[in-house]
Structure 1
Amino acid sequence: MTTLPPVLRHGLQLKTLRVHQRDAVLSIELNTPEQGNVVTDAALDDLRAVLEHQDPDIRVIVLSGAGDDFCLGGDRTEFAEHLLEDPAGGGIRASGIQARRVCDALISHPAVTIARLHGKVIGAGFALALACDLRIAAEGASFRLPELALGLPMAWGGILPRLLNEVGAARARELVLTGRSFDAPEALSLSILHKVVPAEDIDAAVTAWARPILRRPPTALRVTKTLLNSYTAATRLADTSALDAELMAAVAAETHRARPV
């Protein structure tokens, strides 16, 4: 049965998301398809508000995107506006802090999070997907990390240590330094994805994943997810991603100052 999630029953107005609940599954859809579902400050605010409202009845969260693409990355127009308003990078820093909180909320949420991906998955969208427990994509999906080509460090939402942990240092280095696009089968081979299916089968595949998860005892499921996150974090001995917002702001401000007028 589809119902209005409790977070929306409390009067929360979402500007960039479409959210609905079916039994114990909460679906969160990035819903600005005319802009390619780019990640704006408003989108981060909406995501954080939904994710931090932890309804114990929710066992699975599915993150998806409306339209042709899952997410085209961060909003470059808003990024430039932040620098015009504060050339020292204050706006970039605030946005980066919120991005880290959103990704942490996905990672630490007691529900199992599933990224349902299609079309282009770029930059900040890639980071949001990587923060999910399970990731599935349609066959035509493509992936890219363009930050370095844009003059920015790979410092958004704690993506770099998670990427290193999921795919390994050698492959992560190549993807980050070249910024090349790669397809869903390669993403699967790199463990960025867990499954690739024809586009028409993706919803059925998500349901097939969710069905056994919903049958698991809730306490055991919650503790197991916490253990998986804890043991994964223990292998990241030098995780400096808490500095992501500061690094992004500093590099963006320096690049802005160095750009010819």
Structure 2
Amino acid sequence: MSRVRLEAHGPVVVLRLTNPPLNAFDSVQRQELGVAARDLADARAVRAVVLYGGERLFAAGADIKALAAMGPEEIRGWNRALQRTFDEVARLPMPVVAGITGYALGGGLELALAADYRVAAEDAVLGQPEVLLGIIPGSGGTQRLTRRLFGPARSKNLLMTGRNVRAEEALRIGLVDEVVPADQLLESALGYARILAEGPAAALEAVKEAVDHGADTAVSAGLALERSLFTGVFSTADAATGLRSFIEHGPGKAHFGGDADHDDTKERKV
């Protein structure tokens, strides 16, 4: 049985984890997630992605029993592979929205952190509880929390206590970007993804690159990257469309290309 599947909703694809009961990351699910991420990276018709674990929960982390049986060399290789897979998700060229139901703990939260935007159900619970097992997050938690969302103090609070964070607090502190009723979670995530899917693909990809990679450098290097990306998008058809539409019709009325190649809603297993 496949543990990851792709479901196309026009220009938006739902990347769904299907490894019951907890969507725990084992080697098979990690490998299938990597294949799905690489397929999506090369899919020109895909304009946005929604990460989703199902109605019950997003993902409850790694397969702890499997980890406990590994020696130091084996665990190092396993962790390197999971880091690489989550980084492939983070580096997807199109916008990625995480739709979080139930629990997003450990590796589950780390996968959600690889998204560009996080929508949580009202009953969602998030956390990095690894310290309670005597270990630390190993698939981006220490880095993405600190570099992308929080400063060191708040990141250390979550990482050092291993405490659970409920949706209301997660929204307040910026761990998630939106909270909605549980029965509206998937449609809300899809709705936001559809808005982004209507935008200019090259410009959205450039925004991701400027924000994500610019934050890892000095301001001067980030500005140089921004300048290069700014110049590059001027050569795209979407830029020509947007500039012409602004001159002729005013702001916010451009219709960008790419929709003609999309199929109707369908499901594809990976």
TM-score, normalization: structure 1?
A: 0.78
- One of 90, 95, 103 as aligned partner of 1:120: 103
Cα distance in 2 between the residues matched to 1:146 and 1:50: 27
Partner of 1:71: 59
Letter in 2 for 1:215: E
Q: Which runs of 5+ in 1 are unaligned?
A: 1-13, 237-261
- RCO higher in 1 or 2 (8 Å CA, sep ≥ 6)? 2
The CA deviation at 1:23 is: 1.6
Contact 1:138 1:197 (C-alpha < 8 Å) held by counterparts: yes
Moved more, 125-134 or 198-207: 198-207
Q: Could you tell me how far apart the structure 2 residues matched to 1:187 and 1:107 are?
A: 20
* Alignment partner of 1:18 is 2:5: yes
Higher alpha-carbon Rg: 2
Correspondences of 1:188-227 after superposition (within 5 Å):
188-227=171-210
Shift of 1:212: 2.1
2:132 to 137, 146, 149: 149
TM-score (norm 2): 0.76
Query: Which of these residues, 82, 89, 109, is aligned with residue 92 of structure 2?
Result: 109
Following superposition, the deviation at residue 203 of structure 1 comes to 2.5
AA matched with 2:83: R
CA contact (8 A) 1:37 1:66 kept: no
Q: CA deviation at 1:115?
A: 0.6
SS in 2 for 1:61: strand
Q: Distance in 2 between matches of 1:235 and 1:51?
A: 29
CA pair 207-15 structure 1, distance change in 2 beyond 3 A: closer
**Per-residue CA shift, 1:143-174, capped at 9, x if unaligned?**
121111111123x2222121012022111111
**Secondary structure, counterpart of 2:15 in structure 1:** strand
In 1, Cα distance between equivalents of 2:60 and 2:190: 25
Rounded Cα–Cα distance in structure 1 between residues aligned with 2:23 and 2:36: 17
Aligned counterpart, 1:176: 159
Q: Which residue of 1 aligns with 2:83?
A: 100
Gaps in structure 2 of 5+ consecutive residues:
220-270
Deviations 1:54-90 (A, max 9, x none): 2111111111113522111110111123x2xxx3x12
Matched, 1:59 2:39: no
Are positions 1:140 and 2:140 aligned together? Answer: no
Query: Does 1:159 pair with 2:141?
Result: yes
